[in-house]
Amino acid sequence: MLIHIFNGIVYGALLIVMCSGLALIYGLRRVVNFAHGALYMLGAYIGYSVATHSNFWVALLVAPAVLAVLGVALDRWGFRLLQDRDPLTVVLVTFGLLLIIEDGVQTFWGKANLSVPAPDLLATSLDLFGTPVPAYRVGVVVVGAAVALGLTLWLRYSRAGLFVRAASTDPTTTAMQGVNTDALSATVVGLGTALAGLAGVVAAPFLALSPSMSSDVLIDSFVVVVIGGLGSLAGAFIAAMLLGLIQALGAVWLPETSMLLPFLLMAGVLLWKPAGLAGSRT
């Protein structure tokens, strides 16, 4: 029982890392990044390559960095150029990007399932209230918590964070106040995609790398972000944990229906409150 709750928390932590990126990008740019899952996958595969040639810890640094650069490019030549267009246009572009990245990954790394071994330091098991749990997974939870805490503090107390919150609420006035919204945008989107990449690398040792991993996690991410309220980080954190636990516990008790629960939850929330639980704007 405990192990299932623990696994739920682990997956929830992963979703936190993943979805905070999605929420950040939406919050600032009002764009639902359909390519987010593909970016996660790309991060995982890049991590795999780096890890097999050097080690996991380097991968943990390199993959998010590469994804950050990609994010900045995406913002500069994608979101910013299209910001005056119909919002659907950008979404479709990210969807096209998703197709391109998926193809790229398949071409470069093939369609076989790959695996990344956990780093030696964490390849042991720890004792959690009498139940042995893989140390690596505990590490994942730590990363999730660190991201959640870090982002919250950053948004609350840093100048950049203040600007992000301001720009999320009112981009025009913020720009008029002399805040460099372009640089801000690049930072936030880069951060968002870096988080997706980080999630990918972190996920690699305990979830297999496969061509379908992007869509699996994308759907879950959408569910989280929608339930939490589009653009709300706090909401995303809570919803991520909720989803992680539902998936893990549901798989044990109600295997047939557990996979439907997230969608039903999302559908329910959207119908009752189209803006999500915590979000105030759609």
- Which residue(s) pair with 128 in the sheet? 131
Pick one of 84, 120, 127, 256: the residue that binds another protein (CB under 8 A): 256
Q: Helices 135-157 & 233-253, crossing angle to 10 degrees?
A: 160
> Which residue stretch of 8-16, 44-52, 93-101, 146-154 sits at the interface with another protein (rule: CB under 8 A)?
93-101
Q: What would the two tokens of residue 226 be?
A: 């929608």
Q: What angle do CA 270, 240, 111 make, to 5 degrees?
A: 100
Q: Is 132 left (phi over 0), alpha (psi -120 to 50) or beta?
A: beta
- Per-residue string for binding with another protein, 156-195, x by CB under 8 A? ----------------------------------------
Measured distance CA(20)–CA(10) in Å, rounded: 16
**Number of residues in contact with another protein, rule: CB under 8 A?**
39
Please report how the helices 87-109 and 36-53 are oriented relative to each other, as an axis angle in degrees rounded to 10.
30
- The answer to the question of residue 151 lying near another protein (CB under 8 A) is no
- Amino acid sitting at position 239: A
Of the candidates 22, 45, 2, the one whose C-alpha atom is nearest the C-alpha of residue 91 is 22
CB of 42 to another protein, least distance (A): 13
- What x/- string results for residues 228 through 247 when contact with another protein is judged by CB under 8 A? --x-----------------
Residue 100 CB coordination number (10 Å): 11
**Interaction between residue 270 and another protein (CB under 8 A):** yes
Contact with another protein (CB under 8 A) among 58, 100, 146, 176: 100
Q: Is 96 a binder of another protein (CB under 8 A)?
A: yes
- Contacting residues toward another protein, per CB under 8 A: 32, 82, 85-89, 91-93, 95-100, 102-104, 106-107, 215, 219, 222-223, 226, 230, 256, 259-260, 262-264, 266-267, 270-271, 274, 282
